[in-house]
Chains A and B, each alone.
Chain A
């Protein structure tokens, strides 16, 4: 039978490594240190089409994560998607910053890319980004491609016809 001191020691070790494992999961696996939810400001951006953008998708500028997508809703008056971006307080952007919806890699997740402008005044909570670019939708891309191909083909046919006329 173990003495009470030994039992206390083992339970102490168990508690320490258990809490250590939780800390490891929080800090190393989930990277809690860079979360900083307290200090953010909210800006809004309106897009014609957000594609597959999801809440909590990253907001990046020059490839660095500067915030997260907070809320996505549909504005029933302008018929546009309104995306709220939570930007970390330590990153300030000029007022004429533009937002794009981009895709990381060929099949990767979609994120919002910010490109800083040159204005003297910085963005603050509640501001709306004026310049936005919607997500690329594959179907639109394909139909554009087909349309331009068809137009090209049409040109060739008409040219061939013209050449034929001339030869005669």
Chain B
């Protein structure tokens, strides 16, 4: 009995110390970031600089992957739909799968590995080289000056990147479906327009990408700020950012899909 109780106690302590403590710390950190984010809008060029690094630098990978995902959807979708004699519905398949799921999710995963890891590494290194402490010494709040602009830049960039991904994907599906295979162009677009709803599909997709943007950048700035100030600590934090935010995206996506598209 004593051994089992001891094991359970150790497990409980581990959960409290590692998970709950960190979750609470991360939530407080998010609240402080939100409270201190006035500066990122008053001095908007700080945020613009971060949008440049998080958003503009992710453009190439987002556009290219969007195009290829759309083209693959076109090929695979045509193959399956042609068996049921309904290859005219290719536009519907490509557009709905991109706008509802693949656009936000894949753009989120790419954003987490392209921009999230960079944010964590940058903040972690600033901490390791005591730049953050130096700021505090000069009475500059590092959360207002370093963390909040990066957070808002990610939140702003993510929906734009997801929309670009979906748009490129639809274009890729059009290239393969209409230009390469020869699905009728009129029915490709008109069936798509009849099936895709603005409120149900487009707006829900944007909401998803916004939530992913908040989750990914929150995890990234927190892991960077919380990283042990050593080379090993920063590298571990960067890895954790990618792993945790990818898992968070997939879990949040399931929850939001269950809430949004249950009735359809």
Q: Give the shortest distance, in Å, between A20 (CB) and chain B (any CB).
A: 8
Is A137 located at the chain interface by the 8 A CB criterion? no
Contact A21 B160 (CB under 8 A): yes
Q: A4-B45, A10-B56, A25-B99 are in contact. Are A30 and B163 (CB under 8 A)?
A: no
Q: How far is the CA of A58 from the CA of B191 in the complex (A)?
A: 12
Shortest Cβ distance from A108 into B: residue: B86
Interface residues on A, range: 20 to 34
Which residue in A4, A10, A22, A32 is a CB contact (below 8 Å) of B163? A22
B59 touches A (CB below 8 Å)? yes
Contact A21 B167 (CB under 8 A): yes
From residue 48 to 72 of chain A, which have CB atoms closer than 8 A to chain B?
Answer: 55-56, 58, 65
8 Å CB contacts to B: which residues of A3-62? 4, 7-8, 10-11, 13-15, 17-22, 24-26, 28-32, 35, 55-56, 58
Question: Are A29 and B196 in contact (CB-based, < 8 A)?
Answer: yes
Determine chain A's interface SS by DSSP, over half rule. Answer: helix
Which A residues lie within 8 Å of B95 (CB)? 29
Q: How far is the CA of A65 from the CA of B164 in the complex (A)?
A: 30
Residues 102-127 (chain A) with a chain B CB within 8 angstroms: 107
The 3 closest A-B pairs by CB, nearest first: A18-B160, A31-B193, A21-B167
Judging by beta carbons under 8 Å apart, are A14 and B166 in contact?
Answer: no
Q: Are A18 and B202 also in contact (CB < 8 A) when A11-B48, A58-B194, A65-B194 are?
A: no
Q: Is the beta-carbon distance between B161 and A18 smaller than 8 angstroms?
A: yes
Q: Known contacts A29-B99, A30-B193, A65-B194; decide if A11 and B160 are in contact (CB<8 Å).
A: no
The distance in angstroms between the C-alpha atoms of A56 and B263, with both chains bound, is 11
Contact B160 A15 (CB under 8 A): yes
Could you say which residues of chain B place their CB within 8 Å of the CB of A17?
164
Interface assignment of B215: CB less than 8 Å from any CB of chain A? no
Chain B interface extent, by class: 20 to 34
Whether the Cβ atoms of B201 and A30 lie closer than 8 Å is yes
| Residue pair A26, B202 in contact (C-beta under 8 Å) | yes
User: Contacts A18-B161, A18-B164, A58-B194: A29 and B52 contacting too (C-beta < 8 A)?
Assistant: no
Report B-chain residues with C-beta under 8 Å of the C-beta of A18: 55, 159-161, 163-164
In the complex, the answer to whether A19 meets B51 with C-beta atoms within 8 Å is no
A-B contact pairs, 23 of them (CB 8 A): A7-B49, A8-B45, A11-B48, A11-B52, A13-B56, A14-B55, A14-B157, A15-B160, A18-B55, A18-B160, A24-B167, A25-B99, A25-B166, A25-B167, A26-B202, A28-B189, A29-B170, A29-B192, A29-B202, A30-B196, A30-B198, A58-B194, A65-B194
Contacts of B69 in A (CB 8 A): none
Q: Which residues of A contact B105 (CB under 8 A)?
A: none
The answer on a CB contact under 8 Å between A8 and B48 is yes
Counting CB contacts under 8 A, is B237 at the interface? no
CB distance from B125 to the nearest CB of A (A): 17
Known interface pairs A14-B52, A29-B99; 5 further A-B residue pairs with C-beta atoms within 8 A, sorted by A's residue number: A2-B52, A22-B163, A24-B170, A26-B198, A30-B196
A96 to B202 Cα, complex, angstroms: 38
A24 to B163, CA, bound (A): 9
Is A56 within 8 A of B196, CB to CB? no
Residue B197, interface by CB 8 Å: yes
Report which residue of B167, B168, B263 has the largest number of chain A beta carbons within 10 angstroms of its beta carbon.
B167
Q: Which of B26-82 contact A (CB under 8 A)?
A: 45, 48-49, 51-52, 55-56, 59
Q: Which residue of B lies closest to A16 (CB)?
A: B160
**In whole Å, how far is B193's beta carbon from the nearest beta carbon of chain A?**
3
Binary interface profile of B, 151-167, with partner A (CB < 8 Å = 1, else 0)?
00000010111011011
Q: How far is the CB of B226 from chain A (nearest CB, A)?
A: 28
Give the docked Cα–Cα distance between A21 and B206 (Å): 12
